[in-house]
Amino acid sequence: MAITHSLGFPRIGAKRELKQALEAYWTGKIGLSNLTETGRQLRERHWALQRRAGIDLVPVGDFAYYDQMLNMTVLLGAVPGRFGFGDASSSLDCYFQLARGNQDQPAMEMTKWFDTNYHYIVPEFRRDTTFRLAAEWLFEEVEEAKALRFNPKPVLIGPLTYLFLGKAEDEGFDRLELLPRLLPVYAEILGRLEKQGVDWVQMDEPALVLDLPADWLAGFQETYRRLAATGPNVLLATYFDSAADRADLMKALPVAGLHLDAVSAPEQVPAFLDGYPSDKVLSLGVIDGRNVWRTDLRRALALAEAARAELSERLWLAPSCSLLHVPVDLEPETELESEIKSWLAFAVQKLQELAILDKGLRLGAEAIRNELETQDRMLQNRATSPRIHNPAVKARLEQLTEADFRRYSPFSERISLQRERLRLPAFPTTTIGSFPQTPDIRKARADYRKGELDEVRYREAMCKAIREAVHKQEALGLDLLVHGEAERSDMVEYFAEQLEGFVVTRQGWVQSYGSRCVKPPIIVGDVSRPKPMTQEWIAYAQRQTRKPVKGMLTGPVTMLQWSFVRDDQPRAVTAFQIALAIRDEVGDLEQAGVAAIQIDEPAIREGLPLKRRDWDDYLGWAVKAFRLASSGVGDDTQIHTHMCYSEFGDILPAITDMDADVITVETSRSGMDLLAAIREFRYPNDIGPGVYDIHSPRVPDKEEMLRLLQKACEAIPPERLWVNPDCGLKTRGWPEVEQALANMVEAAKMLRQRQASAVEARRRS
Ligand code: GLN
Ligand code: ZN
């Protein structure tokens, strides 16, 4: 009988109970015991849900009040010394300060967990970092689960992945050097778990699917030999991509079992089955832990049966990865059309599928005949449903030619026509799109959604917000204005709600970081645009001013990246479909006389595959999708794009290929590190490296921004340099925004003056 288990369950709660409790605690509305009671209830409820679904081994330690990597940092006593916590470091209050910063110390850095939209807290390592078993939470949760009669399987981030995902704070120091100091603490943890009667421990080592340097790979033998000596059975888990390159290494490790992601990389399974050691179990992740589609049970069953032929009782079944990345429960989605709902599975439903598979494997396909037949009908229906398949969209994609991906003239010709049309000064100032989402704006949107505000009054409220934003920008002296995005709660959801082929959920929340959740739309079918989406607002904004107003759209790759995507066609095809819809919108804006249109692609870099060898393929279609969205306009229409959240140095060639006339990028946090790459690469089009960090309430003065701009002038020819913040301003308040933008406009003026005098001086000499 195959053992079924799950690698982790969403911790936030079906109604985001953890979010509410955390935020109430942070603002002093509830006490610590109230918060920890919520945590306890969530764990209990989630274990019960999993057992009810038929799961044999429930994960323990996947719960976190903020993040699982931060949990490890506290458990391993690796809290950065800069916080000065000493022995108190494992208290929840210290924990939150690490995640969120305090008066004296900025928060620990946060970055994306592999290629997901979950963010983890990055460990900080120094040459003298030491480790010790410093917290009890793991052991307490194991006791908690045992007391409730669950069969606990503690989940830990493995030592190599933990080190690899951290950052070295000292120069010339390799964090792998810390391994010998780290292992005794892991051994101690395993020893304690064994004393608690734990049979199995899951060690997540997803770093094994990355391009790992040889010395890191070599560390695995040493590590697991050391850990094999103590404690319970270790199940070493990889996910998100293929570990086939590491099959020999992994099979030779002295662990009791391996877990593979057979959804994202089913092709790796044979490499492991071939000569699989007889002393190990193999856990196959056959249910997609990262997407919301119902499993093709026949395919999964076939895969499992093939594996069982080799492994018999040593085959385990699981979702591909932790279910952290999908919403909790589909049941409450009463507003979804039932046809669409029948295609979907969230965390709870996925575990039910796992139980069905297990039954099929134990008793034969006949035993799950009903389920298989239901799903055959569902698959059949999905394959032909007019909700999904739009022949016009498919035909349009087929008729695309090279010319559809190219602007008429090269940048050098376009830009002079655009300058003539826009008549902006040197070093033009602009912003990234959104302005503060004031309580009034949020309330109007929420009331409208609830039906408490009618269409007319909702529009009035939005127009008022737009008018005010435009007037403020005029008063500040900005050059290229925006309408401020008051009508958008989210830059992806706003478009998803209007595009055919997308659906949005009511409760489909997924943790992004800490208490922050996102509700990714679901791309269910061929994408098209039934009618214009933004024109009315932009045109309204333009009527309020004689200065040019920039149109504002979200790009195809970002739409794709921040949604749940179809699993029945390549991502590239979906991206092209979205691109065509956006291209139509761009065309309408141009028709309406909008002279500059921004197509945001903040997510382009995070879409990069985990392995370098897959990068070119992705970048090839991602760039093409952007070009398809943006190339339908005349030479004198200026296309902008915006990117943030990451380092762009290594994808500059692709960014250049996008051929936007102007790109605004996040740079201020890194002190403009990107500039060196831009100079070296000679980025050819206009560019605005952000001069202030909008993520912080701090208002930089004009001299500071001028210094950054002068630094930028060394990398970018002055006639191609734009002046703008790092990102959109929707999370900030108006007073700081007005101050910061006033300083920014001043800095641009000072720069213009200096440049004019430099030109004058050159002319004289
Ligand atoms: N136009 C968007 C805004 O200003 C861009 C947001 C982003 O880059 N994530 O909010
Ligand atoms: Zn941004």
| Claim to verify: residue 286 and residue 426 sit in the same structural domain | no
| Claim to verify: residue 290 and residue 427 sit in the same structural domain | no
Domain containing residue 566: CATH number: 3.20.20.210
Ligand 1 contact via 492 beta carbon (within 6 Å): no
| Claim to verify: residue 180 and residue 310 sit in the same structural domain | yes
Does some domain include residue 497? no
Alpha-helical (H) ranges within 486-545 are 493-496, 535-543
Does some domain include residue 517? no
Question: Which residue's alpha carbon is at the smallest distance from atom 3 of ligand 1?
Answer: 728
Q: Tell me, in angstroms, the distance from the centre of ligand 1 to residue 475's CA.
A: 22
| Claim to verify: residue 358 and residue 421 sit in the same structural domain | no
Burial class (CB in 10 A: 0-12, 13-18, 19+), 509: buried
Q: Tell me, in angstroms, the distance from the centre of ligand 2 to residue 695's CA.
A: 10
Ligand 1 contact via 491 beta carbon (within 6 Å): yes
pLDDT in tens, 438-458: 999 999 999 999 999 999 999
Query: For the stretch 278-288, what's the b/e string if a residue is b when 16 or more beta carbons lie within 10 angstroms of its beta carbon?
Result: eebbbbbbbbb
Sign for the pseudo-dihedral over CA of 406, 408, 413, 416: negative
**CB-based neighbours (< 5 A) of ligand 2, an ion:** 602, 644, 727
| Claim to verify: residue 258 and residue 332 sit in the same structural domain | yes
What is the separation, in whole angstroms, between the first and last Cα of the chain? Answer: 89
What band does 646 get if pLDDT is binned at 50, 70 and 90? Answer: low
pLDDT in tens, 104-141: 888 899 989 999 999 999 999 999 999 999 999 999 99
Is the pLDDT at 1 greater than 70, yes or no?
A: no
| Claim to verify: residue 237 and residue 111 sit in the same structural domain | yes
| Claim to verify: residue 314 and residue 428 sit in the same structural domain | no
Residue in 112, 430, 600, 737 to alter for ligand 1 test, most ligand atoms within 8 A of Cβ = 600
Helix or strand (DSSP H, E) at 234: strand 233-237
| Claim to verify: residue 340 and residue 422 sit in the same structural domain | no
| Claim to verify: residue 422 and residue 351 sit in the same structural domain | no
Q: Tell me, in angstroms, the distance from the centre of ligand 1 to residue 430's CA.
A: 13
Per-residue pLDDT, 645: 67
Is the pLDDT at 539 greater than 70, yes or no?
A: yes
Q: Tell me, in angstroms, the distance from the centre of ligand 2 to residue 484's CA.
A: 14
Per-residue pLDDT, 667: 82
Angle at 99 between CA 18 and CA 431, to 5 degrees: 95
Question: Which residue's alpha carbon is at the smallest distance from atom 10 of ligand 1?
Answer: 728
Does some domain include residue 459? no
Please answer whether residues 158 and 205 qualify as being in contact, where contact means their C-beta atoms are separated by less than 8 angstroms: yes
Ligand 1 contact via 727 beta carbon (within 6 Å): yes
Which residues form the catalytic set?
A: 695
Per-residue pLDDT, 695: 80
Ligand 1 contact via 602 beta carbon (within 6 Å): yes
Domain residues for the domain of 89 are 3-12+46-384
Share the mean pLDDT of the chain.
95
> Among residues of the chain, what percentage have pLDDT more than 90?
91
Question: Which residue's alpha carbon is at the smallest distance from atom 9 of ligand 1?
Answer: 602
Q: Tell me, in angstroms, the distance from the centre of ligand 2 to residue 232's CA.
A: 46
